[in-house]
Structure 1
Amino acid sequence: MSNHYKTCFLIDDNYIDNFVTRRILESSNFAETVIVSQSASEAIESLRSGKVVPDVIFLDIRMPLMGGFEFLQEYDKIDIDNKKAIKIFMLSSSLDPTDLKKSVNNKYITNFIHKPLTQKALDEIDT
């Protein structure tokens, strides 16, 4: 795989998960740039301001202050140019069937991927 995407935005509060996920994304040349945010609210501001213009977002569900589903509620309210083209993957260790159902039913979620992100999961992403 070689740089199918220009910018990948990783939103997860866990430093270790971010480190591992970023390494996998970079070693597979998944995107030209990988940007990491440990705060969903800061990620919303980065999107709203145009500081980050991603093609792909990997989003954790369980985060303090603003979780993944709250992020999606705020994401729905912002106006960004390429919104319909952005692929959002819920990347979570959650085994809660409610989380999976909410992900499947959310218009912005492309797919639900269980942590940790693997090369196999990346290879299965439709580009």
Structure 2
Amino acid sequence: MPLKKIYIIDDDPIYKLVTQKLIGKTNLFSEPKEFNNGNEAITYFEATTDLPDILLLDLEMPEMDGWEFLDEFCKLKKKIDKQSTVYIASSSIALEDKLKAQKYECVRDFLSKPINLDKLQKIAEED
């Protein structure tokens, strides 16, 4: 079974570093790409058909936050025939955010930060 592509969209460099190290330990994913905000990711996705299998998405980011990214990503996904699953990885504990996330067809789950090995293994098994 080929390794799954996982991309991280988050503006926190420490979170990205720790998550990258965890991803490396699982041996379940190919080399992850990372983006500092939704705008960087959308620009990349518009220029390529290289959509990942899994996206770990933060909500609170400069330039383009997670919600704005989801709006654009859902439009983009309709043009590209590739299944990508989004996991919101947020420190938000607001019920409104969890309910709003359920309205997006491409969002599989709302995960509380930090991500740990167990969560990554479950993500790999789900898709």
TM-score (norm 1): 0.89
Structure 2 counterpart SS, 1:112: strand
TM-score (norm 2): 0.89
Q: 1:41 is matched with which residue?
A: 39
Q: Equivalent pairs: percent with the same residue? A: 28
Q: 1:20 is matched with which residue?
A: 18
Q: 1:104 is matched with which residue?
A: 102
Partner AA of 2:19 in structure 1: T
Partner AA of 2:27 in structure 1: N
Take 1:21 and 1:11, find their aligned partners in 2: how far apart are those partners?
11
Structure 1 counterpart SS, 2:120: helix
Contact residue 56 and residue 86 of structure 1 kept, 8 A:
yes
Partner AA of 1:81 in structure 2: D
Cα RMSD between the aligned structures?
1.6
Q: 2:9 is matched with which residue?
A: 11
Per-residue deviation, residues 66-85 of structure 1 (Å, max 9, x unmatched) = 11110011112222221xx1
Query: Displacement, 1:92?
Result: 0.6
Consecutive unaligned residues in structure 1, runs of 5 or more: none
Work out the number of aligned pairs and report it: 123
Partner AA of 1:91 in structure 2: A
Take 1:22 and 1:38, find their aligned partners in 2: how far apart are those partners?
14
Runs (4+) of structure 1 exceeding 4 A deviation are none
Judged with a 3 Å threshold, the aligned counterparts in structure 2 of structure 1 residues 68 and 26 are, in CA distance, closer, same or farther, namely same
